[in-house]
A and B are shown apart, each in its own frame.
Chain A
Amino acid sequence: MTAAADLAPSYELVVIGGGPAGLAAAALAARAGVSTVLFDENPGVGGQIYRAITSTPVRSRAILGEDYWDGAALADEAKASGALIVNGATVWSLDRQRLVGVSLGGKARLIEAGRVIIATGSQERPFPIPGWTLPGVMTAGAAQTALKAQGLVVGGRTVLAGSGPLLWLLAAQTLRAGGRIDAILDTTPRRNWLQAMLHLPDFALSPYFAKGLALLREVRAKVPVHRAATIEAVGTDRVREVVFSGAGGTRRLPVDLLLLHQGVVPNVNLANAAGVAHVWNDRQLCFVPVLDAEFGSSVPGIAVAGDGAGIAGGTAAAERGRIAAIAAVRALKPQAAVPDTQAIRQRLQREEMGRAFLDCLNRPADSFRLPEGDTIACRCEEVTAKQVRETAQMGCEGPNQMKAFLRCGMGPCQGRLCGLTVTELIAAERKTTPDEVGYYRLRPPVKPITLAELASLPISEAERKAVER
């Protein structure tokens, strides 16, 4: 196991995140002779899609599906490439000078990087419904992670709610593993189909088409699916029932576990804190970094690859990682041999073909993104939708002033679970666009470190003088 003290003061390439994008990038660069380190905060590599690929206790390959096991090759390739792969390593800071702050085993280090590839992936979109903070309410991705990494499968009365391919994938995996699902509440607005159909021809050619249909068929054969226009988790100490309204009026289901999911969005925190410019993507309803064809960002030497660059899926993530790595190798070692980008780009294009269809079909309804009343918008600081809306009405134009006024986004998650909600709520109240409203300005540490860790970092004479008087 690598310890903080074992790290070199600098690497030619620092890759942050060990999902498909990071693994592919690190493998390619290291093989081309670039000194490469990959940091991932999880105990093992694989990222979200290939979570625990080197350690999963799930033996039957059918449960997680062949797509999952594809990850093993990527992990092997990265391991064999000579890249230093460091798990349990949280990157808490990155700046324009490409100084990388990493925390490992309770010790912090600052590492200089010639180039940086941010491959921190995506996270599930906030799903702010009444009661979403109650114990017993989790994300579908959480249940999937527990299945992949620990072989835990949902056992009690379980309801899945939301939209998007991952919801159906988890349902299928859970059923195959012998787990229990009482019902699925489908929140996909019907009119999404109209928009999506425009993109059907492309989608029909994408690898996701056949897989998607098969999944839906597999799950629908075993679990009742209801359409839901509103959903509420009810309980005091924990969730006891799910109340939802649909075509047939209001219904209540007793539950032990409610699993929510409405798509994934880029995990922007690190890139944002590094000063990378982002824009609103209205089709994916999230902020994405502004990137060139090589996934280079607005900050020289920093690229963003994988789903952090905009959602395109695990296979695309790996290809994007390779393209970013080739650009890094070319900059660092112009004479090194690198694979042909043409072929990679073709594969990437094929992967990205079905995206428009999926994005349009799975666009979450306004009512599940724009909460009202006492529904919590910011989980950490327990700020309600009503407070955000009223403060916007008072003339508060953006999330940074909102944060100052209400503390939303100031808790330990640093806006990961409220940022999009707050931006969209302000835009709705002030009748403008999320792009106009903008996002929180994030600052290090993007993940908490202890005061002692911060105190242990190198300090120059000038820096000391700026404080001591």
Chain B
Amino acid sequence: MFKRLADSSPAIAISVDGKTVTARAGDTVAAALLAAGIDHCRTTPVTGAPRAPYCLMGVCFDCLVTVDGVGSRQGCLIPVREGMKVETQLGRREAGR
């Protein structure tokens, strides 16, 4: 869906559901997922419908993911960090995660 303009920003390795994804410095989690062609980042807690980032500006909450073990983080507002563990979030979040 998205491609990168020729870019020299340093590569940053994160894991998404256990698989390594190469992001770039300056990426947010949501942008890294989009760039990696990952189609949806969560399913809704109401009907289980798949969702993907919609606004990329922090207003829609469709980019919610689990980051380093903490659920329901807004992926479009969080910059990637080397070694970050991102998990897609299925349905309702589990308390304690």
Contacts and interface: CB of A to CB of B under 8 A. Distances in A.
Interface of A: 41-43, 48, 52, 55, 57-58, 63, 88, 90, 123-124, 133-139, 141-142, 145-146, 149-156, 177-179, 237-238, 256-257, 267, 379-382, 411-413, 416-417, 447-448
A60 to B, nearest CB: 8
7 contacts: A43-B77, A52-B26, A142-B57, A145-B56, A153-B5, A237-B39, A267-B59
A138 B56 contact: yes
A139 B35 contact: no
Interface in B12-39: 24, 26-28, 31, 34-35, 39
Given A57-B5, A152-B31, A135 B61 contact: no
A257 B39 CA distance: 11
Interface of B: 1-5, 7-9, 24, 26-28, 31, 34-35, 39-40, 44, 46-47, 49-62, 64, 72, 77, 79
A123 B61 CA distance: 13
A153 B1 contact: no
Those 5 A-B pairs whose CB atoms lie nearest each other, nearest first = A135-B52, A155-B3, A142-B56, A412-B61, A151-B5
Contact of A382 (B44, B52, B58): B44
A135 B39 contact: yes
Contacts of A63: 5
A136 B77 contact: no
Given A41-B77, A142-B56, A379-B62, A156 B1 contact: yes
Contacts of B54: 133, 137-139, 142, 379
A250 B95 CA distance: 47
A149 B28 contact: yes
Given A41-B58, A58-B5, A413-B60, A238 B31 contact: no
Nearest to B8: A57
A42 B44 CA distance: 25
A256 B4 CA distance: 16
- Tell me which of B1, B8, B64, B72 has the highest count of chain A C-beta atoms within 10 A of its own C-beta: B1
Contacts of B49: 133, 382
A156 B27 CA distance: 20
A377 to B, nearest CB: 13
Given A135-B52, A146-B31, A417-B59, A153 B26 contact: no
B59 A416 contact: yes
Contact of A43 (B59, B60, B61, B79): B79
B51 to A, nearest CB: 6
A138 B62 CA distance: 10
Contact of B55 (A88, A141, A177): A141
Given A133-B49, A413-B61, 20 more contacts: A42-B77, A52-B26, A63-B5, A136-B1, A138-B55, A139-B56, A142-B53, A142-B55, A142-B57, A151-B5, A151-B7, A152-B31, A152-B34, A153-B2, A238-B50, A267-B59, A379-B54, A380-B61, A412-B72, A416-B59
Contacts of B31: 146, 149-150, 152
A48 B58 CA distance: 11
A416 to B, nearest CB: 5
Contact of A139 (B7, B9, B44, B55): B55
Given A57-B9, A413-B61, A149 B26 contact: yes
Nearest to A144: B56
Given A41-B77, A380-B61, A146 B56 contact: yes
B26 to A, nearest CB: 6
Given A150-B26, A150-B27, A150-B31, A135 B51 contact: yes
Contacts of A256: 1
B4 A238 contact: no
